[in-house]
Chain A
């Protein structure tokens, strides 16, 4: 968020909207209406004195109406921009009172009541629609009593209540009596998957299941002595990367209970204001009335209210749920009906954060094609460097992080202590140092106190160090003279029960941080030239999409495929849900486009080796060698092969879903298997998935695939029974298809992993499936002709291991390649210049794989749209004079960075390739002569931290 606000190539218009769009792809003309803020962003410092003096208090939208804000306000502490804004509807300046309190107290004269709205005309090549969703209005379900019963909250309200900077400062209390609740019920599917008169929306809102589980884990952290957390659900839909594992882990919380059932009503006890949830337990059939202190409604998502107006302006269509219509012709979720306009996030239907991020990147790649010729010239930032001569002058900044840190640690004591540490010339604290205001304060103090070292005691450097480093750099302080001390994760979070001890530990960590800071040296990033081309490994749908997107931007693309033809798994599929697009035709269309492009397609080609580093990879294949600057790995996954489960291999009529797909592929119209139409077929879900013994994760694609196949069979007159654990309808329109399958008469029966369905038969043929019907508590016997096993997805055995070795990309416990960040970096890896797309990073469907293909293209373009790349200077270096060329570093380095060379003076010594080195320091610690220094982690720096820790103070 902060990055977007600061980026020199982004102009942000907040409080603004698009009012007109004319022209066509490549040459649109947009008119943006900028509404007045009545506060001049150039003058406002975000000090907040205006707000303190404003006499008007209104409900705070950011806090979902809980808590209040003033008529002049900043929406939240870390808002971007941090300029205040006047809400003129509630401001008294227009009134006969003509209040001018805020203007009177503003030293900077930033307030202008007469500011008028302004129209800005923009020339744009393409447009990205990322307008998001609205939260479902839970008052529409009268029987749940939201807004009538005080202790019924929505999930969004709970998020704010749990937040340290929220209306209760992170103290979980129930609204009626401000007491900490002991029992909380979470009601899923509020406004989603609706049926009947209080229907809400028919689709699944996708994010609420995981959100409820996360909230339960958080509640447990907030209220250690919580007695009971109950989640009432229909199906637990944990189908993203790591989701199923998180769900299973949550079951280890002894307080958390899952009850399958959608409550019929929620009643309030008028005396105690307790909440009574009435529900039929779907597994026992028992009607229950469960008393809790508080209920949380998992409200789903609805189409944004502004969609009609936006669709009108943009010339786009809306679907039956008032989300933007996607043009499915390309199989991609990013295309709209109008060329040059792309869509991402929740504007076209609900997505979770990770998929929204991938789609955001994907839409960028698509949009970029229309402006690839007008890239901006980059001017290097010229900031004079501060004079660093003289002794260290350390500034210490302590962040409250709302109450995340300050709620446990004694910040005042810490600040007093900081002032006593040698060379500390300034110490201060702030509510949120990551806010714009916090950053500005650091920058001001650097100048004011001539600081040449900055120490921030706050959260984790993993997410926040880059922001602080950049703030230092912008005022001329070398970013490597910045040090971050993590007193949140390591003190206030883990020792929340013992604040004194936590503060003591924070003092130690701070003392060590300052000691290290005193020894920090400035480091400079080096630029190296790069090869402006890309290798895409894997010619499946994700790889083809990435290759096409990059070619359209004018880059040189090599696409390798190990099989003799492109298309990957598409070649084995029939129709793709939800639009009934023919997989073969989609593959054919993409291959035709590739043939017409400049992409160098290399079929029947395997990668032998890849050496080098970002910008300069040397690729050796079975079909020739070449150089590229970046790499996209899109090698897909394998389908799980059943190992005698459910009679597979023993009975000829137990087949996999892929085998069924092949049969459906060959039969045109009428369903015939081996010459006869089957009468009854049973599907068994989760074969090889959601099983800690085999693969703990959910393979995500199989539920919607089964629904698709079941509909096809049912429409041809086959009786279909689906045996499942939870039907997980991930993806566009999948829930609607599930509903359709049920209305066509497909039977869905649930089983539990404790009591698996049994397939019985004789003479090599399965005849019957036995399943325990949970609500009836009776074993049902179903006569069948065929059993179809919905097999999960597993990492491609051969290619994954080989590529892991070649590219050094780590793999998760699930065996799939690990992305840089599960949510915020879904297609990036820890190896610079190497990206992932499609199922190589985990199971996903075709539409999501295509979005990832485009997303990887956007990431690649960031590198190869330039002719140089800058390298992190935190690497290892050798002092050749001390090196005795023993070769230990060459042997142990995982990244092949060191090598033995003959120096200019004629003797042999190790040299470390700065582009390959990751600065891990393994070689430095092994080096027997101490010739290797790990820059930014020198012996001096580390020793000073140890000394500081071990020095006993009086």
Chain B
């Protein structure tokens, strides 16, 4: 059942794709605790599946 670990109050972000990751990083960088919940086994979402993104052709990972 529920863990005993003490967790600070924060923001819940549902979805670990590019939008959710961006939200999480911006909040965390402003000293806010973030709980990032992703239903699949890894973060990354659709963007991780893309080969490259235009127009810079940077890798999507």
The interface of chain A, by Cβ under 8 A from chain B, is 1, 3-5, 7-18, 28, 30, 32, 37, 62, 64, 74-76, 78-81, 85, 118-133, 135, 156, 159-160, 162-163, 166, 210, 213-214, 217-218, 242, 245-246, 306, 310, 344-347, 351, 353, 356-357, 359-361, 363-365, 367-368, 370-371, 374-376, 378, 401, 404, 434, 459-460, 462-463, 821-823, 858-859, 861-862, 865-866
Contacts and interface: CB of A to CB of B under 8 A. Distances in A.
A130 B3 contact: no
Contacts of A16: 37-39
B20 A128 contact: yes
Most chain A beta carbons < 10 A, residue from B22, B36, B47, B53: B22
Q: Which of B9, B12, B53 has the most C-beta atoms of chain A within 10 angstroms of its own C-beta?
A: B12
A458 to B, nearest CB: 11
Contacts of A367: 11, 23, 27
Chain A binding surface, main DSSP class: mixed
B22 A357 contact: yes
Contacts of B7: 11, 120, 122-123
Given A79-B41, A363-B23, A862-B29, A459 B59 contact: yes
A364 B55 contact: no
B34 A10 contact: yes
B57 to A, nearest CB: 8
Contacts of A246: 54-55
Contact of A356 (B2, B19, B26, B30): B19
Interface string B16-57: 111111111111111111111111111111111111111110
B55 A4 contact: no
Given A132-B19, A378-B31, A463-B59, A12 B36 contact: yes
A4 B46 CA distance: 16
Residue in A81, A166, A345, A359 whose Cβ sees the most chain B Cβ within 10 Å: A345
A864 to B, nearest CB: 9
Given A122-B10, A364-B26, A374-B8, A463 B58 contact: yes
Contacts of B12: 18, 28, 30, 122, 124, 126-128
A371 B11 contact: yes
A632 to B, nearest CB: 15
B24 to A, nearest CB: 5
Contacts of B41: 14-15, 37, 74-75, 79, 85
Given A4-B21, A10-B36, A13-B36, A347 B15 contact: yes
A125 B52 CA distance: 36
B40 A218 contact: no
Nearest to B22: A360
A700 B59 CA distance: 27
Size bracket, chain B contacts:
35 or more
B35 A128 contact: no
Given A10-B34, A14-B42, A135-B46, 4 more contacts: A128-B20, A159-B50, A364-B27, A376-B32
A163 B29 contact: no
A723 to B, nearest CB: 29
Given A4-B16, A130-B13, A9 B33 contact: yes
Contacts of B25: 3-4, 7, 10
A859 B23 CA distance: 11
B12 to A, nearest CB: 4
Contact of A376 (B8, B21, B49): B8
A214 B31 CA distance: 38
A132 B16 CA distance: 9
A822 B56 contact: yes
A-B pairs with the 3 shortest C-beta distances?
A: A345-B19, A360-B22, A130-B20
Contacts of B48: 1, 76, 78
Given A79-B41, A361-B23, A371-B10, A822 B55 contact: yes
Nearest to A364: B26
Given A132-B15, A371-B11, A858-B30, A14 B43 contact: yes
Interface hub of B3, B37, B38, B43 (most chain A Cβ within 10 A): B37
B61 to A, nearest CB: 5
A547 to B, nearest CB: 17
B54 A9 contact: no
A125 B11 contact: yes
Nearest to B32: A371
Nearest to A358: B22
B32 A9 contact: yes
A12 B46 CA distance: 18
Contacts of B38: 12-16
A124 B22 contact: no
A821 to B, nearest CB: 7
Contacts of A3: 21, 25
A356 B18 contact: yes
20 contacts: A3-B21, A10-B36, A80-B44, A129-B15, A130-B14, A132-B15, A344-B23, A345-B17, A345-B20, A353-B53, A357-B19, A359-B19, A360-B19, A434-B61, A823-B56, A859-B26, A861-B30, A862-B29, A865-B31, A866-B31
B1 A119 contact: yes
Contact of A9 (B2, B28, B51): B28
Which of B19, B39, B45, B55 has the most chain A CB atoms closer than 10 A to its own CB?
B19
B13 A218 contact: no
A463 B52 CA distance: 13
A268 to B, nearest CB: 26
B40 A15 contact: yes
A225 B36 CA distance: 45
A368 B32 contact: yes
A627 B32 CA distance: 26
Specify which of B14, B36, B43 lies most central, judged by the most chain A CB atoms within 10 Å of its CB.
B14
B31 to A, nearest CB: 4
Contacts of A14: 16, 38, 40-43
A26 to B, nearest CB: 10
A375 B53 contact: no
B9 A123 contact: yes
B19 A4 contact: no
A9 B56 CA distance: 30
A4 B36 contact: yes
Contact of A368 (B11, B35, B53, B56): B11
B28 A128 contact: no
A346 B19 CA distance: 8
B35 to A, nearest CB: 5
A130 B28 CA distance: 16
Contacts of B28: 4, 7-10
B19 A213 contact: no
Contact of B35 (A8, A13, A129, A217): A13
A164 to B, nearest CB: 8
